[in-house]
């Protein structure tokens, strides 16, 4: 909830300005300009760097200065609030709390002597990052724009793609200190009203001082946040993906200051679908989907299964392969699990370094890693070549599903541990636990494994192959069976 400052504005301008200065302790970024309009003392209050000087001059200052007739404070306020069109956004403010919220959101406040209200005009002109290509979700043929940090810009990007009055935007302020604008987006004829009400209630209940990104909101929206490996809310940087999910009956949440959109409920299958699926032939999109599922399994379980097979079940290998592995492993000084753990942890370190370092140096990390780990370690006999191949396959597979990199990193280590401890028995026990953990996730009454479990024949098929567009025209929802209502206009 935003910080409360419900003191009502008085009618004396000088007193009001004094109170304003006192509350913000003469903050350097608050500009107060006293001006006499039509013989009445007025003041224009703006926040440095948050308003556009050009827009202010054209839309507010010039029309006000051109007022010739003699008016008292009430007359000026009436002109500002109902007799003029100075800006696209106009709000009448009664309290200091509201006044500060709008002031620091880039509004220009006009106060007149003798009036116990003020008029706020939207004249935002702060520096913002331009709309750029989505670096975390790149596509070959899909759209190339992404959300930026301004919530209204994100709303416009979604609205531009969905020109239906059924698309609803609800703005909620979160954070006692930050009063962050959080936008809840949904299609009223697709999303379940109960789910929307639930999300709204949860967001309004956030009692944090600061809300600086979607990550601050997620724990409050995601029911299983503390008890599951996976997240029941997914993220997207792409407006087209957000639109696709809205059409499936999901709810999207945009927080001001973060270029990512939170999708509720997020499904496991979302991680394996991209916008490119819609731009390629169904057979290829289906093939890529299968490839991603296989990559996920390889990324999580391959090192653990390799250890389990080599250490506990060598009889499963054919003789030739077994001899090759035996020769390679005999030459190394460390036990297999230790070798594997060293390599995997080293890989995680290099990956983290590559992400955090500037791009120019990030490349050098991979060269050093490739040279040191890939070549020198094998030549010196510290690491066996088959093991390196396994870790290489694992790492490359993980890159195919970047959205799950956190979960993959941890689960991989768990499977290595389980495989080292009890072979395939350990792997099976870990796999059942992992499956149970995923199955236990429900968000807004939607199973995380939906539409695969519980099985919905039409929806589950879409997980295995990309349906034709004729199929999507008939049914295109993953979470709400009753969402196929006829559009009835406004």
Per CB under 8 A, residues contacting other proteins are 308-309, 312-313, 315-319, 322, 422-429, 431-433, 435-436, 439-440, 442, 445, 447, 449, 453-455
Work out the angle at residue 7's Cα, subtended by the Cα atoms of residues 4 and 12, and round it to the nearest 5 degrees: 150
Q: By C-beta, is 104 or 317 nearer to other proteins? A: 317
Q: By C-beta, is 212 or 424 nearer to other proteins? A: 424
Q: By C-beta, is 8 or 316 nearer to other proteins? A: 316
Q: By C-beta, is 79 or 306 nearer to other proteins? A: 306
Q: How far is the CB of 223 from other proteins (least distance, A)?
A: 10
Q: How far is the CB of 399 from other proteins (least distance, A)?
A: 26
Q: How far is the CB of 454 from other proteins (least distance, A)?
A: 5
Q: By C-beta, is 78 or 202 nearer to other proteins? A: 202
- Exposure string for 355-373, b = 16+ CB within 10 A, e = fewer: eeeeeeeeeebeeebeeeb
Q: By C-beta, is 319 or 470 nearer to other proteins? A: 319
CA distance 227 to 207: 21
Find residue 396's DSSP bridge partners. none
Both structure tokens of 483: 């969402």
Choose among 271, 287, 251, 233: nearest CA to 136: 271
3-state secondary structure (DSSP) of residue 362: helix
Q: By C-beta, is 113 or 222 nearer to other proteins? A: 222
Please, are residues 186 and 203 in contact by the beta-carbon 8 Å criterion?
no
Q: At what angle do helices 336-356 and 359-369 cross, to 10 degrees?
A: 160
Number of Cβ atoms within 10 Å of the Cβ of 413: 17
Q: By C-beta, is 95 or 437 nearer to other proteins? A: 437
Q: How far is the CB of 435 from other proteins (least distance, A)?
A: 5
Q: By C-beta, is 54 or 439 nearer to other proteins? A: 439
Q: By C-beta, is 237 or 450 nearer to other proteins? A: 450
CA distance 121 to 111: 12
Which distant-in-sequence residues (6+ apart) come within 8 Å of 121 by Cβ? Answer: 59, 60, 86, 87, 89, 90, 107, 108, 110
Please, are residues 278 and 226 in contact by the beta-carbon 8 Å criterion?
no
CA distance 266 to 222: 9
First and final C-alpha spacing in the chain: 32
Please, are residues 247 and 476 in contact by the beta-carbon 8 Å criterion?
yes
Radius of gyration of the chain (CA): 29
Q: What is the DSSP letter of 478?
A: S
Token pair 């379940």 is found at 192
Token pair 């490119």 is found at 276
Q: How far is the CB of 316 from other proteins (least distance, A)?
A: 4
Please, are residues 81 and 92 in contact by the beta-carbon 8 Å criterion?
yes
Q: How far is the CB of 231 from other proteins (least distance, A)?
A: 18
Q: How far is the CB of 445 from other proteins (least distance, A)?
A: 5
Q: How far is the CB of 424 from other proteins (least distance, A)?
A: 4
Q: How far is the CB of 446 from other proteins (least distance, A)?
A: 9
3-state secondary structure (DSSP) of residue 103: helix
Q: By C-beta, is 125 or 458 nearer to other proteins? A: 458
Q: How far is the CB of 308 from other proteins (least distance, A)?
A: 8
Q: 109: part of which helix (H) or strand (E)?
A: strand 107-112
Q: By C-beta, is 197 or 345 nearer to other proteins? A: 197
By CB neighbour count within 10 A (0-12 exposed, 13-18 middle, 19+ buried), where does 219 fall?
middle
Q: By C-beta, is 195 or 211 nearer to other proteins? A: 195
Distance (Å) of CA 86 to CA 55, 114, 122, 144, 153: 10, 22, 9, 35, 21
Q: How far is the CB of 421 from other proteins (least distance, A)?
A: 8
Query: 190 — phi, psi (to 5°)?
Result: -115, -45
Q: How far is the CB of 302 from other proteins (least distance, A)?
A: 14
Q: How far is the CB of 372 from other proteins (least distance, A)?
A: 33
């Amino acid at each position: 909830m935003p910080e409360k400052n419900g003191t009502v504005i008085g009618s004396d301008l000088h007193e009001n300005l004094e109170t304003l200065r006192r509350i913000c302790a003469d903050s350097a970024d608050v500009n107060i300009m006293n001006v006499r309009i039509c013989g009445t003392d007025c003041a224009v209050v703006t926040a440095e760097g948050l308003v556009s000087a050009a827009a202010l001059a054209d839309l507010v200052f010039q029309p006000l200065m051109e007022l010739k007739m003699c008016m008292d404070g009430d007359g000026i306020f009436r002109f500002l609030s109902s007799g003029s069109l100075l800006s696209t956004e106009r709000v009448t403010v009664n309290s200091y709390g509201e006044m500060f919220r709008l002031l620091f959101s880039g509004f220009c406040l006009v106060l007149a002597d003798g009036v116990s209200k003020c008029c706020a005009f939207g004249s935002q002109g702060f520096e913002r990052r331009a709309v750029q290509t989505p670096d975390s979700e790149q596509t070959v043929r899909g759209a190339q724009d992404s959300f930026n940090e301004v919530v209204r810009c994100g709303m416009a990007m979604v609205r531009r793609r969905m020109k239906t009055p059924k698309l609803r935007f609800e703005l909620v302020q979160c954070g006692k200190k930050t009063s962050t604008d959080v936008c809840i987006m949904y299609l009223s004829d697709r999303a379940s009203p109960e789910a929307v009400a639930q999300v709204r209630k949860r967001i309004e209940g956030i009692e944090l001082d600061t809300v600086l990104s979607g990550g601050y909101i997620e724990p409050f929206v995601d029911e299983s946040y503390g008890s599951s490996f996976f997240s029941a809310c997914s993220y997207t940087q792409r407006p087209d993906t957000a639109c696709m999910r809205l059409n499936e009956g999901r709810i999207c949440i945009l927080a001001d200051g973060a270029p990512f959109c939170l999708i509720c409920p997020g499904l496991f299958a979302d991680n394996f679908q991209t916008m490119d699926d819609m731009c390629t032939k169904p057979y290829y999109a289906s093939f890529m989907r299968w490839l991603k599922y296989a990559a996920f399994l390889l990324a999580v379980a391959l090192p653990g299964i390799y250890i389990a097979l080599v250490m506990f079940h060598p009889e499963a290998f054919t003789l030739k392969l077994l001899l090759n592995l035996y020769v390679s492993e005999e030459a190394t000084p460390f036990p297999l699990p230790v070798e594997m753990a060293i390599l995997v942890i080293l890989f995680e370190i290099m990956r983290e370094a590559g992400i955090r370092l500037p791009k120019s140096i990030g490349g050098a990390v991979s060269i050093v890693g490739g040279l040191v780990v890939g070549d020198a370690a094998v030549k010196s006999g510290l690491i066996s070549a088959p093991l390196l191949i396994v870790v290489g396959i694992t790492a490359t597979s993980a890159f195919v599903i970047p959205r799950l990199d956190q979960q993959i990193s941890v689960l991989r280590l768990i499977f290595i541990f389980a495989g080292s401890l009890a072979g395939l028995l350990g792997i099976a026990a870990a796999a059942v636990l992992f499956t149970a953990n995923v199955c236990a996730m429900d968000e807004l009454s939607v199973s995380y494994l939906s539409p695969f479990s519980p099985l919905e024949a039409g929806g589950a098929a879409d997980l295995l192959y990309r349906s034709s567009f004729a199929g999507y025209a008939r049914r295109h929802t993953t979470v709400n069976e009753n969402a196929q209502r006829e559009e009835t206009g406004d």
